[in-house]
Chains A and B, each alone.
Chain A
Amino acid sequence: MEQHHNMPGARFVDPKVLARIGNLELLARTVVEGFINGLHRAPFFGASIDFAEHRGYVAGDDIRRVDWRLYARTDRYYVKQYEADTNTNVSILLDVSRSMQFASRGSVSKLDYACYVGACLAYLAQRQRDRVGMISFDQDIVSHVPPSAKHFNVVLHTLDRARAERSGNLAVPLNKMAEHFKRRGILVLLSDFYEEPESILEAVKPLKFLGNDLIVFHVLDDAELNFGYEDASSFEDLESGEQVPVVPESLVKEYRAMINAHIESLTTKFSEHRIDYTVLNTSEPLDRALFSYLSSRERLMRVR
């Protein structure tokens, strides 16, 4: 995962700078174009609509799909199979629970960051003629944009309006979504996952049921990862409002150990279930998210 650092041009504009771009489409284009240009080659584009294989005709097959030229040569009915779903549904599942609005000093909030990522991925998908949709949720589903080739702007608009207002819960909205998805597609889940790894997995697993491709982005602020506080203060839980007096010096070590253990645990569990899992630090550029997405797409094709 460290390779992007070595990639020329892979360092995009800093998220803080991006934050000044009010227009998500512009932002996404800036990021994605820069990203693509930086890669120099785009091995994943343009290969998806083509023929895949032939198989023998069976009763019930659409006769329109019979390869008549092959029939002319072999006198047998073969059905031509194409890369049927090259343009897939991409759904961005955005956690808008209140903890997402957190921003340590001088950085963009996790929600904003998640929106940028979402917008960029939507743009990428749009560029690939994928259908783009999105669902935002906290303890329930907040907004829903069904995947569609025409919904790119709607998605951007919805992302733009997303506000973290309520406390969150993964299980309820994710279960609802799992029931809702009828078609396989790529699901991009953006959340800060403040739950026990077991319950997170329990909530996320159903999304895989239809064979969806699930990409999980764990969006965390640098402060959450490194706990760079110095002054003893009252810490207020953004979701519950509970306040706890904290002397950072005294618990920073333990905290870091815990958050790392948490991430470690998630990494292990997600990989066990073949779910892509990436931790995003909001102080870092967006390329890691994009790279993660694209590599996922690549693997998807290779697996085929």
Chain B
Amino acid sequence: MSFLTPLFFAGLGSLAIPVLIHLIQREKKHVVQFPSLMFVRRIPYQSVRRRRIRHWFLLLLRAAAIALIVAAFARPFLRQNAAAQVISGGAREVVILLDQSASMGYGDHWTRAQSAAHSAVDGLGADDKATLVLFAKNAEENMRATSDRFRLNGAINAARVGSGATRYGPALKLADSILARSSLKRREVVVISDFQKTGWSGSEEVRFPDGVVVKTVSVASPDAANLAVPSVSFARASFSGQERITVTAGLSNKGDAPLKDVPVTLTVDGHEIESVRATVPPRAAGSVTFTQFTLVGPNVRGSVHAGSDPLPADNVFHFVLSPAVPVSLQIVNGAEGSSDASLFLAKALSIGTNPLFQIDVTTASRATPTSFDKRAVIILNDTMFPPAGGAGALKKFVERGGGLLVVSGDRTSWPQGATSEADLFPGKLGPAVDRTSGRGATLGFLDYSHQVFEVFKAPRSGDFSAAHVFKYRTLQPGPNDRVLARYDDGAVAAAERKVGAGRVIVWTTTLDDSWTDIAVKPVYLPLVQQLARYLANYETPTSWMTVGQVLDLAARAKTKSDRIVVTPSGQRMTQRGTSESGAEGLLELNEQGVYEIRPAGATSGRPESIAVNLDPPESDLAPLDPAELVATVTGHATAVVSEPVAAQEMTREEAERRQSLWWYLLLGGLFLLAVETMISNHLSRKEKFL
């Protein structure tokens, strides 16, 4: 309660008026001197009659009436938020950032967060506007700037804990943009969260302008214990034509107490396969390996459950397994029957398990256009241009998305001129250069930004300089071709050209031991496998995704028909198969569990399943000091509040004018006076002497 004109309270002195009238009336006005009060004093009762207040009720009535009238003149108005009272000055634009990340499901965090949000809403003044922003990894403006507390509270009640990871950056940026739009002078951000350290990198470029007050409400529990299954790994083994999977689940204990004999259960397709007991030391990780099971078909759903704690969401880990699909490769050799030429290549590729390479070796003369069809990659290993590749067959193969690796040697040739094949080749192949005179050439430049060489980017991960090249073909790359590697003399060692959906890479020396010794160097195996994987456009199949990732359904789908997506919570969504914009084919995975995707109308068959798990850092409940966040985003270590005085004056008057409490007080006072008049008239009629 505040007063616009508190000076009027001096008028409360008039409260004494009825008291004085009651007590002494006019006798204080003058003192009558009298020779002797000898007789007067003998009538004590009569003389003090005035001093006694006989009608307390009347007196109280009069005093109350005067107090009400005085209070009315003081122009009172209410302020709900006691904290804001001191720094009052105008309507506020408040952005309530309510964390709904998965970690808020810990214990009573969410209920506390909701009640904190409710109290923030209750603290709003009549003119204040508030925006409710629910955030996890992304921030969403749930309720636009409104003064309607009922709607805000409804929105808070309707909000649920999500499965997303905590990221403060997007939420704070959104708050910043909301505040920037606001025309109100006082701006405030209320962050209600468990302040996970993992959600704040400190480098988010959020900086509120001066004057924005950032308040934090932390619902974090100190010493929160949490057991999580952050990951699962699979070991695949082939056994009599079937794949057997060994599941190893990682466990992490984020608490300070060791977890003993935690039951960890593996469930596959709804059947419990095995349950083992594990012990995890405090603040440490452990792992549990289950016995093998046989993978019977595609889209087998599995999950690992571990123990129970206040945050159950991260105690489960979902995955979906499908049998591995091998990558089909055709190596085209030059000379008839010289399969030794591709010995190194074939051996190196056959070692891979991820992916498995299905290798088919043939010669240029035997290669047929149909043999290209089912292949992912064709390797022309020191051979002439295969006749089967003529008439656009090879070009079609590449344009459809196939990969072509041309390993150059003495026999390598390529059609020149105006043929369609000529466009395939990245550049113009020249004669061989002999470098046997010295120590041979080495690979001097590698384009580590390229996917093939990316794995060698880190120091000590692949020493190409150990390999010596004694002979190579010169290559004049075209303007649109990308040079992937060069020799120490600057000559091109590898170049790439993208044709349609496919890729063509030329390697200007051999991949055996005839022109170079790279085949016996440690980098050989990963290099060849990387080349094959890149050209096959191979992506490691994922057994799970994390919440917040976006699934490109259009890219996954084989057909262009509509698809029905069933979310883990059972919600059905229809995804348009054909869309011009492309955006409709995107599915944001924001629930934990297994998504099912099936073509519209399909009733039989296993649906395609996508397992979605929590972001592992979300299990780390270690809290951040909210002050640190505030200091970073405001630039002040402490909240600095500066209010324009003029605005303050305005808003006090405004608040008073809107509430108009004085009107009620005045009416109340007049009513009391009327009642008083009636009662005192009645009383004075009853007793003559008042």
Contacts and interface: CB of A to CB of B under 8 A. Distances in A.
Interface of A: 99-100, 102, 110, 192, 194, 221, 223-224, 229, 231-240, 242-247, 249-251, 254-255, 258-259, 262
B685 interface: no
B38 interface: yes
Contacts of A224: 34-35
B31 interface: yes
B25 A232 contact: yes
Most buried by A among B34, B39, B47: B34
Given A232-B25, A250-B689, A251-B40, A245 B35 contact: no
B24 interface: yes
A235 B24 contact: no
B26 A237 contact: no
Contacts of B558: none
Interface stretch (B48-56, B67-75, B121-129): B48-56
Given A245-B48, A247-B46, A250-B49, A194 B30 contact: no
Contacts of A235: 31-34, 37, 40
B460 interface: no
B29 A233 contact: yes
B41 interface: yes
B43 A99 contact: no
Nearest to A164: B35
Given A231-B30, A238-B33, A245-B50, 4 more contacts: A99-B36, A233-B26, A238-B36, A240-B37
Contacts of B41: 244
Contacts of A194: 35-36, 38
Given A244-B41, A247-B46, A258-B39, A236 B34 contact: yes
Given A247-B46, A247-B47, A234 B40 contact: no
B556 interface: no
19 contacts: A102-B34, A223-B34, A231-B27, A233-B26, A233-B29, A235-B31, A235-B33, A235-B34, A235-B37, A235-B40, A238-B35, A238-B36, A239-B36, A245-B27, A247-B47, A247-B49, A250-B46, A251-B43, A255-B39
Contacts of A258: 39, 42
What is the predominant secondary structure among interface residues of chain B facing chain A?
A: loop
A56 B30 CA distance: 73
Interface in B42-90: 42-43, 46-51
A164 to B, nearest CB: 10
B35 A244 contact: no
B686 interface: no
B50 A234 contact: no
Contact of A234 (B31, B39, B43): B31
A41 to B, nearest CB: 39
A214 B25 CA distance: 47
Most buried by B among A223, A238, A240, A245: A245
A254 B26 contact: no
A245 B29 CA distance: 11
A221 B38 CA distance: 15
Given A245-B51, A250-B46, A250-B689, A233 B36 contact: no
A234 B32 contact: yes
What is the predominant secondary structure among interface residues of chain A facing chain B?
A: mixed
Nearest to B28: A234
Contacts of B24: 232, 245
A88 to B, nearest CB: 32
Contact of A233 (B31, B35, B43): B31
Most buried by B among A242, A246, A249, A259: A246
B335 to A, nearest CB: 140
A236 B32 CA distance: 6
Contacts of A229: 32
Contacts of A251: 40, 43, 46-47
A245 B34 CA distance: 12
B379 to A, nearest CB: 125
B31 A254 contact: no
Given A249-B689, A251-B46, A254-B46, A244 B31 contact: no
A237 B50 CA distance: 19
Contacts of A233: 26-27, 29-32
A111 to B, nearest CB: 11
Nearest to B34: A235
Given A246-B40, A258-B39, A232 B26 contact: yes
A240 B34 CA distance: 10
A228 to B, nearest CB: 11
Nearest to A237: B37
Interface in B1-43: 24-43
A223 B36 CA distance: 12
Contact of A242 (B26, B37, B39, B42): B37
Contacts of B689: 249-250
Contacts of A255: 39-40, 43
Contacts of B42: 258
A254 B38 CA distance: 13
Contact of A237 (B28, B36, B43): B36
A100 B33 CA distance: 12
Nearest to A258: B39
Contacts of B27: 231-234, 245-247
A249 B689 CA distance: 9
A14 B359 CA distance: 156
Contact of A99 (B25, B26, B35): B35
B32 to A, nearest CB: 5
Nearest to B25: A232
A229 B30 CA distance: 13
Contacts of B26: 231-233
B31 A236 contact: yes
Given A254-B43, A255-B43, A238 B48 contact: no
A262 B40 CA distance: 13
Closest 10 CB pairs of A and B: A99-B35, A194-B36, A102-B35, A251-B46, A250-B46, A232-B27, A258-B39, A237-B37, A233-B32, A233-B27
A237 B34 CA distance: 5
Contacts of A244: 37, 40-41, 47
A147 to B, nearest CB: 29
Contacts of B48: 245
